[in-house]
Amino acid sequence: MGRPPADAAQQLGADSRFTLAERGGWALATWRSEADNDLVTTIGTILEMTGSIPLHELIGRIQARARGTSEAAISAAAAQHPFETRSGRVWRGTRSLAARKTPEEAGRLFRKDGAWLLRVRVTQDHLREASVPIPIALATAIGLARDDQVEFHSPVGLSAVRWSRLQPTSPSVRLLLERTGTPIGAVVFLRFGDDGIFDVEVPGQMPDDPPLARALWLAGRWEAPTQNAERELAAAVRLSGAMDRRRLLATYRGRGDDEIVAALEEAWAK
């Protein structure tokens, strides 16, 4: 069977009894754990042979075996206990389930104007009528508990962030991306506001120069002047107290925000 039409997908997506299966179909949520366990087992088997592996290579190996498995599902499983993804490489996890990252420690997640912004690169999964995984740290930030949901209003209607089984998931962003004509490969920021508004912010093309402008763009501060870069970058991760460049670099490096670190090192080396 093919995927259901858009109207049916919307109804299924709004019903907490159903979840999007790994191969693009829909299944009862109580069946999801079997698919999750299969993916965890596969990743574990590969790591037993390799010790660690680049995420893109892991995705390629799994999709070669199970062609319908989405990149988003593999990435989500590789970032969760008993595994972890650091700087684009997957390892056996060393962190316990109780030692999850806070929102301030999570890469690609930033604070701006009373909202949390999650930087994502648009994939085919985003353009389908389906939810996509989000970091557990973001679920923590918006007060989402396991097996629960938090509702947001968006320009296209009511949207729910859910946490079922392995991973919390965002509302579908297909209609929001279509409104702005955003293509696959573009970088956007998913906005989860304290005001209960969910939206997609499209910052436009990332600047190549100066590198401080690039760092600000990557941190969701694309409108900020570069002369305020250190203050803006600290605010984006809620870093307070005495501030110096060394502390700022260490903070972003610890979050795994390698692109931002590279831009800052380039700027401050001049």
Taking only the tens place, the pLDDT of each residue in 121-147 is: 998 888 887 778 899 899 999 999 888
Tell me what pLDDT residue 219 has.
97
pLDDT of residue 240 exceeding 80, the answer is yes
pLDDT given for residue 165 in this prediction: 65
Residue 225 pLDDT grade (very low, low, confident, very high; cuts 50, 70, 90):
very high
Pair type for strands 89-92 and 52-54: antiparallel
Residue 4: per-residue pLDDT: 43
Q: What share of the chain is helix, strand, coil (3-state, %, to 5)?
A: 40, 20, 35
Residue 29: band (very low, low, confident or very high) from pLDDT cuts 50, 70, 90: very low
55 contacts 43 by C-beta, under 8 angstroms = no
Taking domain 107-201, whether its CATH number is 2.40.330 is answered by yes
pLDDT greater than 60 at residue 199: yes
* Mean pLDDT of the 217-245 span: 92
Dump pLDDT digits (tens) for 63-118. Answer: 988 877 888 888 888 887 788 888 788 988 765 444 468 999 999 999 999 999 99
Percent of the chain residues topping a pLDDT of 70: 83
Q: Helix (H, G, I), strand (E, B), or coil: what is residue 27?
A: strand
The residues pairing with 86 across neighbouring beta strands, listed in sequence order, are: 89
Q: What integer pLDDT is reported at residue 113 of this predicted model?
A: 95
Q: How confident is the model at residue 28 (pLDDT cuts 50, 70, 90)?
A: very low
Q: Which one is predicted more confidently, 183 or 242? A: 183
The pLDDT value recorded for residue 173 is: 93
pLDDT confidence bin for 38, thresholds 50/70/90: confident
Quote the CA–CA distance of 203 and 73 in Å, as a whole number: 26
Q: Give the burial string for 78-90 (b: 16+ CB within 10 Å, else e).
A: bbbeebbbeeeeb
**Between residues 256 and 79, which one has the greater pLDDT?**
256
Q: Where are the beta strands (DSSP E) in the chain?
A: 18-20, 26-28, 52-54, 83-86, 89-92, 109-112, 115-121, 148-154, 157-164, 167-169, 187-193, 198-201
Summary mean pLDDT of the chain: 83
Residue keyed to tokens 């999650």:
118
Q: What residues does each domain of the chain span?
A: 6-99, 107-201, 211-268
At residue 176, does pLDDT exceed 80? yes
CATH class (in words) of the domain with range 6-99: mainly alpha
Identify the pLDDT of residue 200.
Answer: 96
Higher pLDDT pick, 131 / 155? 155
